[in-house]
């Protein structure tokens, strides 16, 4: 099967575009179904037509050398035909397409992964992004991720002042700033009392969704330069009794639901956990009141030291982390609390040079216990050292567990596959890649049964499902298929995963390849059968594969020699199993007259025409062969004389109703004369069968042609 067929039939959405012009060259139906375009209109477009703000991902324009096969980890936004945005992850591969440099792009739409997975991945990207970017960049990145997760077109993040009456307008998402909002109010102190219903989440102290914003009677005011709202979801970020910020997204093409609220809540909390600490740095330059409020609201420990490493301030979270009072810590230094590590001494000099550091170290609690922390450090403008400290003990334990499990899963020789409750793949180890031929990035989010094309033995799927429901595990042998279509047999063990409340959270499948064993079993089974039957079957299969060399050059039907070979085989089978077998001998009436009147070329066309009509009315198991000159023969296994006569009547009716067209001479009728002979018990050779059919054909001609005669029946059996 060539590339174009595989491309068109592939269930994975994909397209091909020109690497230089970025024009689309090809697209399969799976991608069109996901984006609503018609093939004809899509192939008139370029990459810039489906990406927001003409921001085409770098992997689609900068693939070179070792980057020829690369996936984009970020959630991209593709423009649906109806105007809204569709979240998707992309993978690209260089190829030559119609002699042009091109790229093949595969797409996993947001629907192929659970919202939980997408949200957790977004949180991870934001955390990594935060290490080397400013407060505004971090907040904007978080808003962009929230838009992608919910399909929104705007997003905003505003701080809440300690007086709980004033909003500090902070930042908007990338899309909002470029397309919808001038953001003239940035860093403006905005009274809560003047804010419209977009700030209701502060008043109600809980997430608020308005799916018909313009239809509400009380809309209120928006900050200067803000875009028009159609739908909105806002979330208050609380720390203790105080609201510290407001996080909002809006203008989703469809209504917001509980899943959107859940996802935005998670990102909002993460935004504050990261931004809150960053905010401290700017707060240190303002009033002591604001500085202390932010310090105490931060969930991470915040330590401030002088240039020599002696502590001069610490927040409440830092005290709780180490078990000291604030006064006790202020009498200590960095060296007192930091566990000495010869491989990584304190890097004060780098901090004094203005570098920002991120490191993982052990600190010692007051009771002597060690705590594993992540420290982000930098020097402030006044020479003080700022350290943001987060307890990562549990995270490191989980990371070590995950690393160990990942190592085990990657090294195990059996295919290990994890799925969610809907049996969509969430993990696919190296052994699975080897067994099935699919890379993990190609199957994540897809149905396990769709990828492996699982077939249960003896229709045992219902029994397997019942066993899983009652015992939460099942084991058995399954027939599956490799990516290239090869059959695979596996010994499969499936276990369901449950949470603390007994809800199914997914499953783990371990498949061991037993294909060779099954093949050996099949070979042993076949060895018990008659070698003569095996040889005959193999010879018959080989001859059918060579059928192209056994056809008549004029009509493309089988030739006489091959007909006799098949007749011998079918005749022997009929004798052995006492089953029906018929042959038909027929020729085209008055072919010589046609040759003399219209020429031999027309006569040849008539022979080919008759062969096509006859062949189109036969079963796949029936054999049509040119016997010689204008004479043909048909071999009909498992057919008696009556059934064969019925087939011939249909053929004759078709020939007479259509006629044969000759340019400038119109149509002229074409008829046939035929003789039918069927195998009878006691018949010893194929020669007897052919002789009877030939005699019946002769009788049909003698009776005036344009008819058939069944051997052993009345000659009046005209067609």
Tens digit of each residue's pLDDT (9 = 90 or more) over 278-298: 665 555 454 455 566 667 777
Among residues 640, 636, 634, which one has the least CA distance to residue 672? 634
Q: How confident is the model at residue 699 (pLDDT cuts 50, 70, 90)?
A: very high
| Beta strands 85-97; 24-27: pairing state | unpaired
pLDDT value at residue 407: 61
Count CB-CB contacts under 10 A for residue 64.
Answer: 7
| Beta strands 504-513; 623-628: pairing state | unpaired
pLDDT value at residue 341: 74
- Kindly report the pTM of this predicted structure: 0.33
Count CB-CB contacts under 10 A for residue 559.
Answer: 17
Q: How confident is the model at residue 661 (pLDDT cuts 50, 70, 90)?
A: low
- Please give the average per-residue pLDDT across 227-236, as a whole number: 85
Does residue 140 register a pLDDT over 90?
no
Q: How confident is the model at residue 226 (pLDDT cuts 50, 70, 90)?
A: low
Does residue 637 register a pLDDT over 90?
yes
Helix (H, G, I), strand (E, B) or coil at 678: strand
HSE toward the beta carbon, residue 146, CA cutoff 13 A: 36
- Please give the average per-residue pLDDT across 249-261, as a whole number: 85
| Residue, of 280 and 146, whose pLDDT is higher | 146
Q: How confident is the model at residue 146 (pLDDT cuts 50, 70, 90)?
A: confident
- Give 45-78 pLDDT, tens digit per residue: 999 888 876 678 888 876 554 445 666 656 677 8
Q: How confident is the model at residue 624 (pLDDT cuts 50, 70, 90)?
A: very high
Q: How confident is the model at residue 568 (pLDDT cuts 50, 70, 90)?
A: very high
Q: How confident is the model at residue 533 (pLDDT cuts 50, 70, 90)?
A: low
Domains of the chain are: 3-111 (3.30.450.20), 116-283 (3.30.450.40), 300-391 (3.30.450.20), 397-518 (3.30.450.20), 531-710 (3.30.70.270)
Calculate the average pLDDT of the chain. 81
Contact 327, 311 (CB under 8 A): no
Strand boundaries in 251-356, DSSP class E: 301-305, 311-314
Among residues 453, 399, 443, 397, which one has the least CA distance to residue 418? 443
Strand boundaries in 292-414, DSSP class E: 301-305, 311-314, 357-364, 370-379, 385-391
| Residue, of 161 and 186, whose pLDDT is higher | 161
Among residues 442, 453, 457, which one has the least CA distance to residue 491? 457
């Amino acid at each position: 099967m060539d590339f174009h067929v595989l491309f068109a039939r592939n269930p994975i959405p994909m397209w091909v575009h020109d690497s230089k012009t970025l024009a689309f060259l090809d697209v399969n139906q799976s991608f069109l179904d996901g984006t609503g375009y018609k093939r004809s209109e899509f192939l008139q477009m370029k990459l810039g037509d489906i990406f927001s703000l003409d921001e085409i991902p770098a992997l689609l324009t900068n693939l070179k050398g070792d980057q020829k096969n690369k996936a984009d980890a970020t959630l991209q936004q593709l423009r649906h035909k109806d105007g809204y945005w569709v979240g998707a992850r992309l993978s690209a591969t260089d190829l030559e397409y119609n002699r042009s440099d091109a790229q093949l792009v595969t797409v996993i739409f947001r629907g192929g992964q659970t919202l939980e997975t997408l949200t957790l991945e977004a949180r991870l990207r934001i955390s990594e992004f935060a290490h080397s970017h400013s407060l505004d960049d971090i907040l904007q990145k978080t808003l962009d991720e929230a838009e992608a997760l919910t399909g929104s077109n705007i997003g905003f993040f505003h701080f809440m002042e300690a007086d709980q009456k004033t909003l500090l307008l902070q930042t908007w998402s990338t899309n909002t700033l470029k397309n919808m909002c001038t953001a003239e109010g940035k860093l403006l102190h905005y009274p809560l009392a003047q804010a419209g219903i977009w700030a209701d989440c502060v008043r109600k102290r809980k997430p608020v969704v308005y799916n018909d914003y313009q239809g509400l009677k009380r809309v209120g005011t928006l900050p200067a330069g803000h875009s028009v709202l159609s739908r909105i979801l806002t979330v208050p970020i609380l720390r203790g009794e105080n609201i510290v910020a407001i996080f909002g997204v809006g203008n989703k093409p469809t209504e917001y639901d509980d899943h959107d609220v859940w996802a935005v809540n998670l990102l909002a909390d993460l935004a504050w956990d990261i931004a809150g600490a960053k905010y401290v740095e700017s707060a240190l330059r303002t009033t002591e009141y604001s500085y202390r409020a932010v310090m105490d609201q931060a969930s991470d420990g915040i330590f401030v030291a002088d240039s020599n490493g002696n502590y001069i301030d610490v927040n409440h979270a830092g005290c709780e982390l180490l078990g000291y009072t604030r006064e006790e810590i202020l009498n200590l230094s960095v060296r007192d609390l930091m566990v000495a590590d010869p491989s990584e001494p304190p890097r004060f000099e780098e901090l004094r040079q203005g570098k920002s550091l991120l490191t993982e170290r052990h600190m010692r609690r007051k009771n002597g216990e060690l705590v594993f922390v992540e420290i982000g450090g930098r020097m402030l403008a006044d020479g003080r050292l700022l350290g943001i400290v987060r307890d990562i003990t549990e995270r490191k334990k989980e990371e070590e567990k995950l690393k160990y499990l990942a190592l085990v899963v990657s090294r195990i020789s059996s295919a290990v596959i994890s799925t969610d409750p809907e049996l969509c793949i969430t993990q696919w180890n190296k052994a699975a890649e080897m067994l099935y031929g699919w890379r993990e990035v190609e199957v994540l989010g897809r149905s396990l049964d769709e990828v492996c094309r699982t077939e249960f033995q003896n229709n045992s799927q219902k029994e397997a499902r019942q066993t899983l429901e009652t015992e939460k595990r099942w084991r058995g042998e399954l027939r599956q298929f490799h990516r290239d279509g090869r059959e695979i047999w596996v010994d499969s063990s499936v276990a369901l995963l449950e949470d603390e409340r007994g809800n199914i959270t997914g499953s783990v499948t371990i498949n061991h390849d037993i294909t060779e064993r099954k093949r050996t079993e099949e070979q042993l089974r076949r060895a018990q059968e008659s070698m003569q039957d095996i040889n005959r079957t193999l010879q018959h299969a080989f001859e059918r594969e060579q059928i192209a060399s056994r056809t008549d050059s004029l009509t493309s039907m089988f030739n006489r020699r091959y007909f006799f070979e098949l007749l011998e085989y079918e005749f022997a089978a009929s004798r052995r199993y006492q089953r029906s077998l018929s042959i038909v001998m027929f020729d085209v009436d008055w072919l010589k007259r046609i040759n003399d009147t219209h020429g031999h070329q027309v006569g040849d066309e008539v022979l080919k025409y008759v062969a096509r009509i006859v062949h189109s009315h036969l079963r796949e198991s029936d054999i049509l062969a040119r016997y010689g000159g204008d004479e043909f023969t048909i071999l009909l296994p498992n057919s008696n004389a009556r059934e064969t006569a019925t087939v011939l009547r249909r053929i004759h009716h078709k020939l007479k109703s259509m006629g044969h067209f000759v340019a400038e001479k119109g149509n002229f009728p074409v008829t046939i004369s035929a003789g039918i002979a069927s195998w009878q018990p006691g018949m010893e050779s194929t020669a007897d069968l052919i002789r009877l059919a030939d005699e019946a054909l002769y009788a049909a001609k003698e009776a005036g042609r344009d008819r058939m005669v069944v051997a052993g029946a009345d000659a009046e059996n005209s067609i």
